[in-house]
Amino acid sequence: MTQYSQTAEGGTAGANITIGNSGGASGFAFSLVSLSGVATATYSATGKAHGSLGYRVQCPNSATDKFYLRTTMPAPVDQFADRTYFTLNAMPGVAQDLISYFDTGTAHLFQISLNSGGTIRAASATGVTLSQYATALTAGTLYRIETQWRKGTTTTDGQLAVQLFLADSTTALWTYSSAAVNVGVTQFSQKWLGDGTFSHPLDATFDSILLDDSSQTALGPFVNPATTSIVPTSVVSGTGWTVVGAADIPTALSDASDATYAVSPDGPVNSTLIIQTNGNLTPGSLTVTPRLAKRDTSTTATAKVTLLSSGGLPVATEQTYTLTTTATDYPYTLTTAEANALTSRSGLQWRIIANA
Ligand SMILES: [Ca+2]
């Protein structure tokens, strides 16, 4: 089993998507970016699903513009599970293929297509509608389409299952499943985002794509890869706090240098700094280690520190430290009960309250 991920996170906002820059931190590189007319494909925050960027395609002119972003498997496969998040930044109003699956040549296996009225359908190897979601999609809404496919030995025993969700929801808006359809009798090799055959207007963003080359189980919503450490990304609140040695407080707290740090207001009384972090910590015991010092040698200074959930609620017992003028680590290992009570290890926050 091999999974191929495409997140767009290695891109630069506004930059054109190319086969050269679509790999690396973004995941599995596209094998072709095909653009006709004045169609564009760029990394963009508009319509993205997770992280900071998605793959946005814009075809403003229905007469000449078409595109497809092609992913080619290293080797053809008999079955797969696939997931693609997408946002229609505007409703095209014109029927077109949104995602097409091909063999090694030009034979369609099946397609996920838009109808002119904004509904979405699954179509067979010959373009026949197998099922459709009767409610029109809406512009600016993030959807997740999941498909599981197995090639047929004949044109009547192929297998296809489709589920449509809102964003990360686990309650499907639309499901379809059959083990007796014509979804091709050849192996899968190419996935196309877009309709490379006919010109249509479209402004859509794709993101958080995952393709498993052998699974027959729906891949489910995107989850941040688990990590063993997290990095500050932004200040949630910190009135009067300043930064030394770096452009901003998250940057100062993200390196290992004592020359970059955040400073509370002078003579602090319950001066609170809350820092947002990224990442999704692996299960198991959890130790958090603030590194703290006081700057005024004549004053007793303390800091109250705790870990907050992504929703801002304390998830560990608040610890109070009496500070010295030497930057010192204050590790705190969450109790088993505290660690077990963490329903999500994503997006944890730090709260530091300074007192003189
Ligand atoms: Ca992304």
Mean pLDDT of 157-182: 97
CA distance 101 to 188: 7
Q: 85 CA distance to ligand 1 centroid (A)? A: 10
Quick one: 211 and 288 in the same domain? no
Question: Which pLDDT score, from 0 to 100, does residue 285 have?
Answer: 85
The C-alpha atoms of residue 241 and residue 257 are separated, in whole angstroms, by: 19
Let me know whether 37 and 112 are in one domain: yes
**pLDDT-above-70 percentage for the chain:** 100
Residue 342 alpha carbon to ligand 1 centre in Å: 25
pLDDT tens figures, 107-154: 999 999 999 999 999 999 999 999 999 999 999 999 999 999 999 999
Q: For the chain, report the end-to-end CA distance as a whole number of angstroms.
A: 57
Q: What pLDDT is stored for residue 1 in this prediction?
A: 84
Q: How many domains does the chain have?
A: 2
Same domain? For 193 and 231 the reply is no
| Res 184: pLDDT | 98
Q: pLDDT digits over 28-63, tens only?
A: 999 999 999 999 999 999 999 988 899 999 999 888
pLDDT at residue 138, as a whole number: 98
How many angstroms is it from 54 CA to the middle of ligand 1? 5
Centre of ligand 1 to C-alpha 9, Å, is 5
Distance in Å, CA 10 to ligand 1 centroid: 9
Among the candidates 175, 197, 223, a domain finishes at 223
pLDDT tens track for 334-352? 998 898 888 788 889 999 9
Gap from CA of 152 to ligand 1 centroid (Å): 34
pLDDT average, residue stretch 191-207: 93
Task: Domain of residue 287: give its range.
Answer: 227-355
| Ligand 1 mean position, distance from CA 143 (Å) | 14
CA of 261 relative to ligand 1 center, distance in Å? 30
11 Cα–ligand 1 center, Å: 9
CATH number reported for the structural domain that contains residue 289 in this entry:
2.60.120
Q: Which of 167, 189, 223 is the last residue of a domain?
A: 223
For the cut 80, the answer to whether the pLDDT of residue 204 exceeds it is yes
Domain shared by 249 and 168, yes or no: no
pLDDT of residue 46: 97
What mean pLDDT, rounded, does the chain reach? 94
- Model confidence, pTM: 0.72
Per-residue pLDDT band for 241 (boundaries 50, 70, 90) equals very high
207 alpha carbon to ligand 1 midpoint, in Å? 5
Q: Based on the domain organization, do 58 and 186 belong to the same domain?
A: yes
The pLDDT value recorded for residue 226 is 80
- Using the mean position of ligand 1's atoms as its centre, give its distance from the Cα of residue 117 in Å: 28
- d(CA 8, ligand 1 centre) in Å: 5
CA 224 to ligand 1 center in whole angstroms = 11
Which of 158-162, 172-176, 285-289 is the least confident region?
285-289
Report the separation in Å between the CA atom of 284 and the middle of ligand 1, taken as the mean of its atom positions.
Answer: 27
Same domain for 279 and 248: yes
Q: Which residue among 223, 254, 279 closes a domain?
A: 223
* CA of 47 relative to ligand 1 center, distance in Å: 10
Q: Whole-angstrom Cα distance, residue 123 to residue 93? A: 19
What is the mean pLDDT of the segment spanning 172-184? Answer: 98
Distance 29 CA to ligand 1 centre (A): 14
Asked if residue 235 and residue 337 are part of one domain, the reply reads: yes
Residues 271 and 155 in one domain: no
**84 alpha carbon – ligand 1 mean position (Å):** 11
